Amino acid sequence: MVLTEAQKREMSGALEIAPEEKFEVIPLGLELERFAAVDREAARREARAELGLDEDHVVVGIVGRMVPVKNHELLFDAVPRLVTLLEEGVRELRILVVGSGEREHELLEYARTLEIEDRVQWLGWRRDLERLYPAMDVLALTSHDEGTPVAVIEAMAARTPVVARDVGGVGEVLEDGRWGALVEWPDPAELAERIARAVMDPPAPERLEAASRSARKRFAVERMVEDVKALYRRELG
């Protein structure tokens, strides 16, 4: 049993564990209703006020452990180009970094080296992500690899636009770009352009609502439980 088609291909191909037909894909199940149930506008106002941000700020979030595979540097490297694209002085850019981990000090130093530390807010781990996603104009995912990108699924459920590297199971979650922008290569300029496009020409509310419904249907805990039950019934006769 694997979580994504990408994992099935990897297990069968690169790792040669078994033929593809021996694997059953059962996507991850998550508790997502709290992200959809929140009053998005109220949560956005409250979270931004708490963080010292106003409605004119462009807020890009990244959520995850501070470990090498998450590749926070790609987002930081994109900041100078993104500032130019957003026409600094009209709207100021802020980066929200949610999470912690072994590379926290290293990433703090990297932001200082790039002279972007005044644009980055380090929030640590938060239990109120349902309030933070609405505060973001875009969620960015910059990982070198992903199995099931939980932050992307949560952001979709919260009706927050997503720009993500097309790695691992990300393309499956976003249905090859239907529900968010995919960045093929780890290129800061391309990432900046995709984020700027999502900010300046955001998806229609109806599309974000459709993305939320899609995430909640495909990655519901109840769906996962039923899929596992069906697998056992089939295999045990």
Do 181 and 160 form a contact (C-beta atoms < 8 A)? no
> Residue written as tokens 């090859």?
176
Q: Is the domain of 41 the same as that of 65?
A: yes
Residue 88 is predicted with a pLDDT of 64
- Measured between alpha carbons, how far is 208 from 210 in angstroms, rounded to an integer? 5
Torsion sign across C-alpha atoms 19, 24, 25, 28: negative
The string of pLDDT tens digits covering residues 31-52 is 999 999 999 999 999 999 999 9
Q: Is the domain of 45 the same as that of 140?
A: yes
Q: Is the domain of 26 the same as that of 39?
A: no
The string of pLDDT tens digits covering residues 174-204 is 999 999 999 999 999 999 999 999 999 999 9
Q: Is the domain of 52 the same as that of 158?
A: yes
Q: Is the domain of 18 the same as that of 65?
A: no
Do 3 and 169 form a contact (C-beta atoms < 8 A)? yes
Q: Is the domain of 20 the same as that of 56?
A: no
Q: Is the domain of 118 the same as that of 6?
A: no
Does 123 reside within a domain? yes
User: Could you tell me the residue range of the domain that residue 9 belongs to?
Assistant: 1-30
Mean pLDDT of 205-223: 97
Q: Is the domain of 112 the same as that of 4?
A: no
The string of pLDDT tens digits covering residues 83-121 is 999 986 567 999 999 999 999 999 999 999 999 999 999
Domain total of the chain: 2
How far from 136 is each of 91, 140, 152, 184, CA to CA, in Å?
Answer: 14, 10, 13, 23
CATH number of the domain bearing residue 77: 3.40.50.2000
- Measured between alpha carbons, how far is 146 from 74 in angstroms, rounded to an integer? 15
Q: Is the domain of 158 the same as that of 200?
A: yes
Q: Is the domain of 121 the same as that of 169?
A: yes
